[in-house]
Structure 1
């Protein structure tokens, strides 16, 4: 496939690197000529110096011969305009990175009127991953088997009482066209035999065709019905913290959000009615202890500063918080945090790249 990427920043380069692993011809467009020269010496891509908002640049590129254009610049409006121009000039599919929450509130209107096929939001993407881990506690993987025809769902058996006390031979009568692929008993995953009995404290992994698995998933992960997640502390009131606080609050959790910028706190307090907004420096242990860190079910640090996130995550773990999550900008930090016992370390660059590749290739690429 022929793919044009506008913006040679971290995301643009990351997507280009990932696409070069497949049978793709990649063109990278940017206004920074010096950066493009450096990239061309390191990567097997065609580079074009110019402003893709200018229609003449897209026409000179013969954009109508491209399968995809992906706009990844730091400017939302530029990405929307570039993607829209490319689509109207004949590019098959277009993708735009959009980060502003106000744009995301009218995302469907933007996609429809500007004729954009797919929009990615790094902050929203990482928020969804955190939310799924904390609030839903499940794994639903479409596309793992048979190109998406077979899916997997995992859940505690107590959420589907019909399975309690039953053997593997009983399962087909309870869950037609589905199979118990594995059971987690006391933290140990086993492949069950026909006589294996399902205990009320077990976790089960069920596979089957997509439609019945999705129906089962809606029953065992009904929003707000099954969760031990009651108290959550979030550090960092940026876009990710905002999205996450909003989602977890709607889910039913009591959320405390700590932000050091007073003006930002005012904005958050007027837009997040059911969230407790706290103005202060979370690296001050006294503040965390005063706000009962040790009583939290989950702690999420999304400050935008890797070192702060690392320190805060370790502090939360030392205070006995069960689920601790940190976002980091450097992949090496994510690996370090994982080794130190933090439950989840997320890199928005990798998640956004994966989102784009999922759309372009039609299947999730693990980075």
Structure 2
């Protein structure tokens, strides 16, 4: 594929290195002489020196004929203009990196639609999703390549007294568009259908929004009712922290943010009324002790200073915080942190830059089969979780999901339209270019592929 990247910073360089190794035809636009020269000497890509917001530069780089155009500079405005121009010139798919929440606020205007960009990538929001996944359920199994935190999958054992027993799934009213994909009974794996009934002892694989999964858990396991609130303390009111607080807006989380800037603290208190704002220097051991950080279930350091995040997590761990996690800006620190996990107590380190890179690569190098963790792969046995796109000429285009004759032993558990993922309902209409995710018996995969082509 032909790919044009604007920006030779850390994200752009990481993408160019990865994509060039995968034998794609990569061109990078960079206006900084030193960065352009470094990239030319270290990575096997074509480098065009110039302004990524210039139409003539984009034409020179081949943006009019590229399969993917990736605007990945540190300037949101440059990225928006560049991706918009590339789309107008003929680029098939355009991605723009955008940090500022202003460009994701669709209250007055949808910036993505206005500029004609296929996908806005927010590194901080993607990093927050990774943190939220771990906090929501430390033992969860996630569909990492689908949903960006909007769809998760969980394995639950049906306990005695569960309200879902002996009722066909078609008559079972599950909240929040929850979908049951697989049922493991003794040594047998069953792809769920409308007539499937659940029994005590069954191990079910359930898909849905994280909040819906939590609310549904009591239906499968009555003993889970009345679970205590999970306390989360976040260092700094950064963009990652704000995104994380919003992702954890469910009442089961008790969230505190420690912010040293008084004006920013007051502003966040208005924006996030359900969050307790604490004005203070969270890197101070005295402040951490006064706020009883040791009683926190999760401590998450989200400052822009990596060293502060690392040292504060170490202090929180020593004070007794059950789980400590952090955001890291220098991606090369992550490998070191993983090796020192036991001593530092850091369970998870996320990098906004790596998160953004992985998000883009998910679309460029999308595989037809989603690989789950080993424990789940053993459970699904002869069944696969497969993600695929709906072709323009597919017979399912413009049809409701309930009106489509799907292969036997196949259940849809995810639907993505305009890059917005959700668990599907029977009334959802499939459009050309949509993605679906399904659990399907291995022997039926060809039927599904034929249906969607």
Give TM-score scaled by structure 2 length: 0.65
Residue 214 of structure 1 pairs with residue 207 of structure 2: yes
> 8 Å contact 2:207–2:213 — kept in the other structure?
no
> 8 Å contact 2:158–2:203 — kept in the other structure?
no
* 1:17-36 superposed matches below 5 A: 17-36=17-36
2:66 counterpart residue number: 66
Q: For the structure 1 residues 143 and 295, does the alpha-carbon distance in structure 2 shift closer, same or farther, using more than 3 Å as the test?
A: closer
By percentage of residues, which structure has more helix? 1
Residue deviations 1:89-127, cap 9 Å, x none?
101110000000121112981121211111110110011
Q: Which runs of 5+ in 1 are unaligned?
A: 145-150, 166-173, 182-191, 195-199, 208-212
1:352 counterpart residue number: 356
Q: For the structure 1 residues 232 and 153, does the alpha-carbon distance in structure 2 shift closer, same or farther, using more than 3 Å as the test?
A: same
Match of 2:111, SS?
Answer: helix
Distance 2:362 2:69 in 1: 15
Q: For the structure 1 residues 362 and 234, does the alpha-carbon distance in structure 2 shift closer, same or farther, using more than 3 Å as the test?
A: same
* 1:1-367 superposed matches below 5 A: 1-106=1-106, 109-137=110-138, 138-141=140-143, 153-155=153-155, 157=157, 162=162, 178-180=182-184, 213-214=206-207, 220-222=213-215, 228-338=228-338, 339-340=341-342, 341-363=345-367
Query: How far is 1:332 from its partner?
Result: 3.9
Distance 1:205 1:342 in 2: 31
Distance 2:217 2:278 in 1: 25
Residue deviations 1:70-101, cap 9 Å, x none?
00111111111110110011011100000001
Match of 2:249, SS?
Answer: helix
Give RMSD over aligned pairs.
3.6
Give TM-score scaled by structure 1 length: 0.79
Distance 1:295 1:224 in 2: 26
Match of 2:21, SS?
Answer: coil
Kindly tell me the number of residue pairs found equivalent between the two proteins: 334
Q: For the structure 1 residues 223 and 253, does the alpha-carbon distance in structure 2 shift closer, same or farther, using more than 3 Å as the test?
A: farther
Match of 2:299, SS?
Answer: strand
Distance 2:254 2:245 in 1: 9
Residue deviations 1:172-204, cap 9 Å, x none?
xx99872549xxxxxxxxxx857xxxxx9x9x9
Q: Which runs of 5+ in 2 are unaligned?
A: 166-171, 173-178, 189-199, 219-223, 373-453
